[in-house]
């Protein structure tokens, strides 16, 4: 039992935080999200140069051999900057999906992602299908995909799209589609939290099937677990920053002739936010450590536990941050609202509270 970070992990966290402080402050972020693609490829390249995209791959495949703990640290820092790019897909999801490929195929596909040239995304959810693939309608026939995927992060901008689909035998498979492929249509839009997403339709779209690794369904479940774990780390980073911004604000804001942070009613709300945030920190670590649990059900129940806790804390910390900022918290101009919006989206993504409560309740709760 050990919850301490090692020196490399501390270094990773520090250097990414420095990079983001330097190149991703709130004003710069406004410029990035206003660009045509909704993010800055030079920042993406910066992530690649720091080795973020190589992090999750084994060392003998040109990677750094990082674990979900490293992913959690990256996510926490990204949350602090509310970085909008599909880094979760690149760092947490794609490496897990590529376990379904042979090592040669994996190396060929990962190369461009690790170098930062190709931005990947994950097209899995369909309308009416939340996190579960039994009702998946996208089909694969003769190496061609047909169907539709919904709310695909940067779906119109990404270069490599990982797609789940069922074949004629009813088997779930994983496929790679390149940007601009025949029959691929992307209807892109901005999201509440200032990222981008798209509705993708495939009509006989040529795709490369991932083959030679673990079964696709297992790879998908592992990927969803890692995405969820990363999102809890990201939520932690957002909550830390939201509390910091709020405390700073109530120290400076004067009413009735004194800083409003001297009022006990406000202090206790802020203190409760710290309590909730600390519980999320514990759960982010738990989620990261349970990602590699061999038994899929144990892993998924642990992750659901962490997610429910995160949802409750996110609701409280997000809402209190706006409340304590008062009127200015409502504005687009102040950063706090942007943290609140991203936090709210994270409650919903990777399975919402009800989904995870269902999963836990159906299983009769956690094993002792």
Partner 1 sequence: MELKFTPEEEAFRQEVRDFIDANLPDATRQHLKLGNAPTKEMTIEWQRTLNKKGWATPRWPAEWGGPGWTVTQQYIFQQENQRAPAPDPLGFGVNMVGPVIIQFGNEEQKKRFLPRIANIDDWWCQGFSEPGAGSDLASLKTRAEKDGDHWIVNGQKTWTTLAQHADWIFALVRTSNEGKKQEGISFLLIDMKSPGVEVHPIQTMDGGHEINSVFFTDVKVPAENMIGEVNKGWTYAKFLLGNERLGAPRVGASQAKLQELKEIAKNRIVRGRPLWDHPRFRDKFVEAQIELKALEMTVMRVLSGIESGADQSKPDPATSVIKIKGAQMVQRLTELYVEAAGEQSVPWLDDEGDNAQVGPDWTIRAAPNYFNMRKSSIYGGSDQVQKGIISKAILGL
What is the DSSP annotation of 60-109?
GGTS----HHHHHHHHHHHHHHT--SSHHIIIIIHHHHGGGB-HHHHHHH
Which are the contacts of 146, defined by CB distance < 8 A and separation ≥ 6? 138, 139, 183, 202, 203, 204, 205
Q: Which residues 36-65 are close enough to bind partner 1 by CB under 8 A?
A: none
Backbone angle region of 3, left / alpha / beta, with phi > 0 → left and psi within -120 to 50 → alpha: alpha
Q: Which residues 246-285 are close enough to bind partner 1 by CB under 8 A?
A: 247, 250-251, 261-262, 264, 266-268, 270-272, 274-275, 278-279, 281-283, 285
- The binding track of 295-324 with respect to partner 1, each residue x by CB under 8 A or -, is ----------x--xx---------------
Residue 2 or residue 255: which is nearer to partner 1 going by CB? 2
State yes or no: residue 360 binds partner 1 (CB under 8 A): yes
State yes or no: residue 156 binds partner 1 (CB under 8 A): no
Say how many residues touch partner 1, by CB under 8 A.
41
Q: Which residues 328-357 are close enough to bind partner 1 by CB under 8 A?
A: 357
Q: Which residues 68-97 are close enough to bind partner 1 by CB under 8 A?
A: 69
Residue 94 or residue 250: which is nearer to partner 1 going by CB? 250
Residue 2 or residue 142: which is nearer to partner 1 going by CB? 2
Q: Least CB distance from residue 10 to partner 1, whole Å?
A: 12
Q: Least CB distance from residue 366 to partner 1, whole Å?
A: 5
Which are the contacts of 7, defined by CB distance < 8 A and separation ≥ 6? none
Give me the helix-helix angle, 7-23 and 68-81, nearest 10°. Answer: 20
What is the DSSP annotation of 178-212?
ETT-TTEEEEEEE-TTS-EEEEEEEEEEE-EEP-B
Q: Least CB distance from residue 341 to partner 1, whole Å?
A: 24
Structure-block tokens of residue 321: 């941050």
Window contacting partner 1 (CB under 8 A); options: 190-198, 202-210, 228-236, 359-367: 359-367
State yes or no: residue 236 binds partner 1 (CB under 8 A): no
State yes or no: residue 289 binds partner 1 (CB under 8 A): yes
Residues that bind partner 1 (CB under 8 A): 1-5, 69, 243, 247, 250-251, 261-262, 264, 266-268, 270-272, 274-275, 278-279, 281-283, 285-286, 288-290, 305, 308-309, 357, 360-361, 364-366, 368
């Amino acid at each position: 039992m050990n919850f301490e970070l090692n020196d490399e992990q501390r270094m990773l966290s520090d250097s990414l935080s420095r990079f983001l402080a330097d190149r991703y402050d709130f004003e710069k972020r406004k410029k990035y999200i206003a660009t045509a693609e909704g993010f800055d490829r030079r920042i993406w390249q910066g992530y690649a140069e720091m080795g973020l995209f190589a992090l999750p791959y084994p060392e003998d495949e040109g990677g750094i051999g990082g674990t979900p703990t490293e992913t959690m640290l990256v996510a926490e820092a990204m949350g602090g900057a509310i970085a909008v790019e599909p880094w979760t897909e690149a760092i947490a999801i794609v490496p897990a999906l590529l376990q379904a490929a042979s090592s040669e195929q994996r190396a060929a596909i990962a190369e461009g992602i690790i170098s930062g040239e190709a931005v990947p995304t994950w097209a899995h959810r369909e309308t009416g299908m939340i996190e579960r693939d039994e009702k998946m309608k996208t089909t694969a026939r003769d190496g061609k995909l047909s169907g539709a995927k919904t709310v695909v992060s940067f779906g119109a901008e990404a270069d490599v799209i990982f797609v789940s689909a069922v074949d004629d035998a009813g088997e779930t498979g994983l496929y790679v589609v390149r940007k601009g492929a025949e029959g691929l249509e992307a209807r892109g839009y901005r999201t509440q939290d200032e990222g981008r997403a798209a509705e993708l339709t495939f009509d006989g779209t040529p795709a490369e099937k991932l083959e030679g690794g673990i079964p696709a369904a297992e790879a998908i479940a592992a990927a969803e677990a890692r995405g969820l774990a990363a999102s809890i780390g990201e939520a932690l980073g957002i909550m830390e920053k939201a509390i910091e911004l709020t405390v700073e604000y109530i120290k400076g804001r004067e009413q009735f002739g004194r800083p409003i942070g001297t009022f006990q009613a406000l202090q206790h709300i802020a203190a409760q936010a710290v309590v909730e945030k600390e519980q999320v920190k514990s759960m982010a670590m738990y989620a990261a450590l349970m990602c590699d649990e061999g038994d899929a059900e144990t892993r998924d129940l642990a992750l659901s536990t962490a997610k429910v806790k995160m949802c409750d804390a996110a609701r409280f910390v997000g809402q209190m941050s706006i409340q304590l900022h008062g009127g200015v918290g409502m504005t687009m101009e102040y950063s706090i609202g942007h943290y609140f919006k991203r936090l709210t989206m994270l409650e919903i993504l990777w399975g919402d509270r009800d989904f995870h409560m269902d999963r836990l309740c159906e299983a009769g709760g956690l094993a002792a």
